[in-house]
Amino acid sequence: MEIEAEGIRKTYLSKAGPVEALAGVDLVVPSGKIFGFLGPNGAGKTTLTRILTTLSRPDAGRARIAGFDVATQAQEVRRRIGYVSQAGGVDSGMSGRANLVLQARLQGMSKSDTVARVGELSDRFGLGELLDRAVKTLSGGQNRRLALAMGLVHRPSVMFLDEPTLGLDPRARVDLWQEISALRADGSTVFLTTHYLEEADALCDELAIIDNGTIVSQGSPAALKREVGSDDVISVTVGAGHARADGARTEIEALAGANRVWWEGDVLRVSIADGGEALPHLLRLLDAAGIEVRSVTLSAPGLDDVFLQKTGRSFSAEGASEQKPKGPDKADEKTDAGQLQGA
Ligand SMILES: Nc1ncnc2c1ncn2[C@@H]1O[C@H](COP(=O)(O)OP(=O)(O)OP(=O)(O)O)[C@@H](O)[C@H]1O
């Protein structure tokens, strides 16, 4: 196992009183996988990431990376991990190349190894002439690619990415997903925090969902959705023949796995166990009844259904909306980042 955590607890003391960020977290992450740590804002994702990357100490519990204890063998851990925080750790006044070189030297790499590695990473991330521009002139997506390259300078086997696509437009987000998938193809383990449900679903082999400092569910996205057991919903917008459609209702209700059939205006909805399997049968029934079908959609249960069932609240209502990346001025980020760079 590449990452193991047991009983991790962390409470922050703030002026307003104690904030329990992690209330006993257990995790096991196999190597060579993309592991998603999904939860709404404030759930505890960054706190756990900082503990696993040796930047913060838990109040209780133990964690190991590649078999090394994060508290007592921090140097060993730091050699094996890369961490891209929400702030990115990139100095925006310097060029990308200067950032990469600085990072490599801080990691103790020789000059010749640094030059070779910067060249490799430049090719790999298509950075090219972007490397010689000041970082502040780069787009959000280019900036994230540079931050990812910086995290990879010392060839870590485990990458921690804290909200890697936060604030990016959909195109740049999908580009970055490809880069993250390529890390797995190279054999790295990726631990990724996100509050984007579709990102967790599309990218991760396995997921843990955290809420209020507690893991509420863990498994592959498909297994979590199966566990919830929600039906697919087929929605058919009908044209002429709407009135006649009710004549077919008994047969529609008799379709295998159908649990509920109802109308919303001119849209017929069927809640059914396996929508893909039932869809052709449903369309044949409607056709036989002389009903004009204008459009059809099939929606499968999503991770939002999993969150709803496990917590009793909807994910989107929990502040999981768009937000800006945290700046480097986030509490104790600067001082702690120095620890990792100095490793
Ligand atoms: N330095 C700190 N002092 C006091 N409270 C803190 C501190 N850092 C985090 N917290 C609180 O601990 C809880 C967990 O925060 P954390 O940043 O780990 O959540 P998160 O899941 O990463 O959120 P986000 O998605 O917004 O990044 C929140 O209630 C947060 O306000």
What is the whole-number distance in angstroms between the Cα of residue 337 and the centre of ligand 1?
Answer: 17
Instruction: Return d(Cα 126, Cα 146) in angstroms, integer.
Output: 10
C-beta of 42 in contact with ligand 1 (< 6 A): yes
Q: Which atom of ligand 1 is nearest to the CA of 43?
A: 21
Hey, is 32 helix, strand or coil? coil
CB distance 321 to ligand 1 below 6 Å = no
* pLDDT value of residue 112: 94
The answer, yes or no, to whether residue 343 has pLDDT greater than 60, is no
Cross-strand bridge partners of residue 192: 36, 161
12 lines ligand 1 (CB under 6 A): yes
- Cβ atoms of 50 and 21 closer than 8 Å: no
Q: Does residue 151 line the site of ligand 1, with CB under 6 A?
A: no
> What ipTM was assigned to the predicted interfaces of this complex?
0.97
Residue 330 has pLDDT above 70, yes or no: no
> pLDDT value at position 96?
93
User: Where does the pLDDT of residue 242 fall: very low under 50, low under 70, confident under 90, or very high at 90 and above?
Assistant: low
Distance CA 4, CA 215 (A): 14
8, 11, 20, 46: which to mutate for ligand 1, most atoms within 8 A of CB? 46
* Closest ligand 1 atom to Cα of 193: 22
Q: Ligand 1 centroid vs 327 CA: distance in angstroms?
A: 14
Please, which pLDDT band fits residue 171 given cuts at 50, 70 and 90?
confident
- Please write the tens of the pLDDT for every residue from 264-277: 888 888 889 888 89
CA-nearest residue, atom 3 of ligand 1: 12
Which residue's CA is minimally distant from atom 17 of ligand 1? 46
Q: Does residue 56 have its Cβ closer than 6 Å to ligand 1?
A: no
Residue 313 sits at the vertex; the CA angle it makes with 208 and 8, to the nearest 5 degrees, is 35
CA-nearest residue for atom 28, ligand 1, is 42
**pLDDT surpasses 50 at 342:** no
Closest CA to 195 of 41, 4, 23, 34: 41
pLDDT at 320: 46
Whether ligand 1 lies within 6 angstroms of the CB of 288 is answered as no
| Band (72; pLDDT cuts 50, 70, 90) | very high
pLDDT tier for residue 168 given thresholds of 50, 70 and 90: confident
Mean pLDDT for 15-41 is 94
Determine phi and psi for 172, rounding to 5 degrees. -65, -30
DSSP lists the bridge partners of residue 14 as: 17
φ/ψ of 26, rounded to 5, equals -115, 135
The percentage of residues in the chain with a pLDDT greater than 90, rounded to a whole number, is 52
- Cβ 250 under 6 angstroms from ligand 1: no
Nearest residue to 168 (alpha-carbon basis) of 137, 134, 143, 191: 143
Strands (E), 78-172: 81-84, 158-162
Q: Is 43 in the pocket of ligand 1 (CB under 6 A)?
A: yes
Tokens (6 digits) for 20: 């329990």
- Over the chain, what is the mean pLDDT? 86
Q: Which of 11, 20, 45 to mutate to test the pocket of ligand 1 (most atoms within 8 A of CB)?
A: 45
